[in-house]
């Protein structure tokens, strides 16, 4: 709770004045320059991951002409040993954005670099983040306090991060080198706090599917090498 609120305090102190003036039209020239998402040059079709689903026998009941709303239900399990390429990862993200309205991230892009670092850029919808926060088990009190701090922050909010990441026996390990909110880097001393919050969110998300068991997920020169068990199907309750 303290970590969560501390990050929100930094957002409002560091960005509140500029955000408020810009949104109110006092500094209109800054709106596009400051509140623009970092473009990593990634744009993948969902078709790539849908072909992979068919190959492993994963049943995606969300796929359709328009995104579906509701609570996700995961069932079954598929043992998987596969290296996900950058294209497959971004295709997977694109498929989720096209099939479920609960995704808080918009235009989420992931780039895997040759030095083993990973870059992520997105717009986050504060409304959807609030909804998924409830799903992940955050209390209404925590959510309401966050909303108080975010009055003058633009929605959607541009985020960017660069660092290393891995998972071993379901434990997430992050090392964030740079974390930007609306184009401004947080102080280096705050990176460990951000890491703690992200690790908590990932852990809560994994628990939505009891069948998910990540033995290891490591970044390699070919992509992300995954070993573990994933759900066999997803649908809406």
Summarised one tens digit per residue, pLDDT across range 130-186 is 665 666 566 777 667 666 655 556 667 788 889 998 889 988 888 888 888 766 676
Whole-number Cα distances in Å, 49 to 84, 121, 221, 233:
10, 20, 20, 14
More confident residue, 116 or 1: 116
Q: How far apart are the first and last CA of the chain?
A: 29
User: Cα(19)–Cα(225) distance, rounded to whole angstroms?
Assistant: 40
Percent of the chain with pLDDT over 90: 28
* Residue labelled with tokens 């790539």: 48
Provide the strand spans (E) within the chain: 59-60, 72-75, 78-84, 105-112, 118-124, 157-168, 171-181, 184-185, 213-219, 224-230, 233-236
Instruction: Quote the pLDDT of residue 193.
Output: 61
pTM for this predicted structure: 0.74
Structural contact between residues 191 and 145, judged by C-beta atoms closer than 8 angstroms: no
Residue 17, classed as helix, strand or coil, is helix
More confident residue, 101 or 233: 233
Structural contact between residues 73 and 237, judged by C-beta atoms closer than 8 angstroms: yes
More confident residue, 199 or 117: 117
Instruction: Quote the pLDDT of residue 113.
Output: 92
Percent of the chain with pLDDT over 70: 62
Angle at 222 between CA 218 and CA 226, to 5 degrees: 35
Instruction: Quote the pLDDT of residue 71.
Output: 84
Note the pLDDT tens digit of each residue in 193-204. 666 666 666 665
Instruction: Quote the pLDDT of residue 180.
Output: 81
Average pLDDT of span 103-116: 87
Note the pLDDT tens digit of each residue in 29-72. 445 555 678 889 998 999 999 999 999 999 999 998 899 998 88
Instruction: Quote the pLDDT of residue 34.
Output: 54
Give yes or no for residue 27 having a pLDDT over 90. no
Domain ranges of the chain: 2-236
User: Cα(182)–Cα(175) distance, rounded to whole angstroms?
Assistant: 21
User: Cα(107)–Cα(122) distance, rounded to whole angstroms?
Assistant: 6
């Amino acid at each position: 709770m303290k970590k969560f609120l501390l990050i929100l305090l930094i957002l409002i102190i560091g960005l509140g004045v500029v955000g408020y003036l810009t949104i109110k039209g006092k500094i209109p020239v800054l709106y596009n320059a400051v509140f623009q998402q970092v473009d990593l040059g990634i744009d993948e079709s969902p078709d790539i991951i849908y072909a992979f689903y068919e190959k492993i026998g994963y049943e995606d009941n969300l796929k359709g002409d328009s995104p579906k709303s509701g609570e996700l239900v995961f069932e079954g399990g598929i043992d998987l040993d596969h290296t996900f390429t950058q294209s497959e990862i971004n295709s997977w993200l694109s498929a989720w954005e096209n099939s479920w309205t609960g995704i808080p991230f918009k235009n989420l892009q992931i780039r895997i670099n040759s030095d083993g670092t990973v870059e992520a850029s997105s717009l986050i919808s504060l409304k959807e983040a609030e909804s998924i926060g409830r799903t992940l088990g955050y209390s209404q009190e925590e959510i309401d306090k966050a909303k108080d701090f975010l009055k003058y922050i633009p929605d959607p909010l541009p985020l960017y991060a660069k660092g290393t990441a891995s998972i071993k026996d379901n434990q997430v390990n992050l090392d964030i080198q740079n974390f930007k909110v609306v184009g401004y880097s947080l102080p280096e001393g705050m990176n460990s706090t951000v890491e703690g919050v992200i690790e908590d969110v990932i852990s809560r998300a994994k628990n939505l599917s009891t069948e998910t068991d990540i033995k290891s997920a490591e970044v390699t020169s070919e992509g992300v090498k995954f070993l573990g068990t994933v759900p066999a199907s997803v649908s809406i309750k």
